Amino acid sequence: MIADLDRPALWAYRSDYRPPADFDAFWRSTLDETAAFDLDVRLSPVVTGLRTIDVFDVTFAGFGGHPIRGWLRVPSDRIERLPAVVQFHGYASGRGHPLDDLLWASAGYAHLVMDTRGQGGDYAGGSTGDPVGTIGPAYPGFMTRGIADPETYFYRRVFADAVRAVQTVRTLDFVDSERVAVAGNSQGGGIALATAGLVPDVAALYAQAPFLCDFRRGVRITSEGPYAEIAGYLGAHRWEVEQVFRTLAYFDGIGFAARAIAPAWFSCGLMDGLCPPSTAFGAFHAYGGQKEIQVWDYNGHDAGGAQDLATAVSAFGAVLQK
């Protein structure tokens, strides 16, 4: 069953989201605050038994100087500087196991997957805490942590961490700093989109079924998944509706999309009840660079699955591989 709008309506849809007047100043201040801490990149080789891919345990300083973990996977036979893909994972997941997700390194990229702070208690384990903790009341999950104020909201720290992840791969002597792409699905797609808006010289973007876009619409039309956390919170804090959406306006993927210019590939499934396709189209239509979107009529939050990945590998190859 179609969970949202049909194809013609999606192409016609334009979100009524408008960024706050100080959106750019807020993020400039956030990144300046983060830049006050040394990046402090640390790589530790991991013994995996793999013959064609080297794996490193990575730590770098994110927002507040907090240590952020990740896996770096690179082809063992590297000679010249490599293009890189920085990947962000789905909601409540973590960086997983060193042997997970060997796709990008197998395709010839340096591949950094960033652990999202505080997450990793669900289907793939994480290793990064969030020292800030919960500020004020919150609904179970991550969507409402610190939501009373943009300065304290959970995703302020996450998006700043993501920018630092791009900076981290750019410090590596075997990476071509001008050929760094960002990628992710669901929450990871939303983080990648935010990163493309905050680091406009990234080389490419891949966002599969992106989350964290068009918050007002997402909260209104779906009762599933993380958007429902916001609705649950507002059900108990009825007087905070406008303040909550004021905070979320600084973190909406549509605001970042309008500031991003890298070639981008989006995807969504018409039966997606977690991240309604209109929210992805809201970001897609606002996107400031060359863009394509693949719509899958009979898929939900999985969107195109491996076929989307095949598209991304081909697209990134055309843009990033010399």
Active site residues: 186, 272, 301
Give the separation between CA 18 and CA 318, rounded to whole angstroms: 34
Sign for the CA dihedral angle at 202, 205, 210, 213 comes to positive
Pairing of strands 264-269, 175-185: unpaired
Query: Which region, left, alpha or beta, applies to residue 27 given φ > 0 means left and ψ of -120 to 50 means alpha?
Result: alpha
Phi, psi of 247 (to 5 degrees): -60, -50
Q: Which residues pair with 293 in a beta bridge?
A: 266
Coil/strand/helix, residue 167:
helix
Nearest to 53 by CA among 23, 73, 83, 28: 73
Extract the tokens encoding 80.
């010249």
Q: Which residues pair with 14 in a beta bridge?
A: none
* Side-by-side strand order, sheet with 291-296: 42-46, 53-61, 67-75, 110-114, 82-88, 175-185, 204-208, 264-269, 291-296
Buried b (16+ CB within 10 A) or exposed e, 287-298: bbeebebebbee
Pairing of strands 204-208, 42-46: unpaired
Q: Which residues pair with 54 in a beta bridge?
A: 74
